[in-house]
Structure 1
């Protein structure tokens, strides 16, 4: 698979407890991205954060939260990201989605 040098970064901010049809939302998003043959997706777990409710989510021992912030990043061509967005809109009840242009310097290895 090849990604154009000028691509897009889709960044999705959700909570660890967010669900889609009974499964973790982050899992549903990553599996759908894979099914749609996007170049890749990565889920990052945040140690601390807050969103539109201003409720603090933290991994500190004294304020243990089971709903830590998650960020999912997906990089691919503008066309493939655009095709993915309607599906994302259908399964997300809340969260923040951003999109930005990125320059891809390397993807994979020569042997792939």
Structure 2
């Protein structure tokens, strides 16, 4: 399981989604748009009516087989700055 933390202002989400879906054919991908967040800058990014900067936090989450994810993690360094990717082992329940 992998989470990639971005902000809208970085304009990286479309490239990342294309990479994961079209190039890597990842099994499951979801993008979340946050209502507030504080990043490395220490500055608050919010969705208040006063702040219309469209610099809100974004999280792209995906999963696939362990071997596939390990290869993708190496390539993510070319798309996303170091320190913005979190991963952990997960189990996929396929039912009965």
TM range (shorter): 0.7 to 0.9
Instruction: Please provide the CA RMSD for this pair.
Output: 1.7
Is 1:91 the counterpart of 2:88? The answer is no
Shift, 1:106, TM fit: 4.2
Shift, 1:83, TM fit: 1.0
Number of matched pairs: 94
Q: Distance in 1 between matches of 2:84 and 2:71?
A: 18
Is 1:57 the counterpart of 2:49? The answer is no
Question: Higher strand fraction: Structure 1 or Structure 2?
Answer: 1
Shift, 1:94, TM fit: 5.9
Partner of 2:55: 67
Deviates more, 1:87-96 or 1:69-78: 87-96
Shift, 1:86, TM fit: 2.1
TM-score of the two chains, using structure 2 as the length reference = 0.87
How far does the alpha carbon of each residue in 1:61-108 deviate from its partner, in whole angstroms, 9 at most, with x for none? 12333100000001111111111112210122366110011122249x
Deviates more, 1:29-38 or 1:98-107: 98-107
TM-score of the two chains, using structure 1 as the length reference = 0.75
Q: Are residues 67 and 106 of structure 1, via their aligned partners in 2, closer, same or farther at CA, if it must alter by over 3 Å? A: farther
Runs of 4+ in 1 over 4 A off after TM superposition: none
Deviates more, 1:60-69 or 1:39-48: 60-69
Structure 1 unmatched runs, 5+: 1-8, 19-23, 108-112
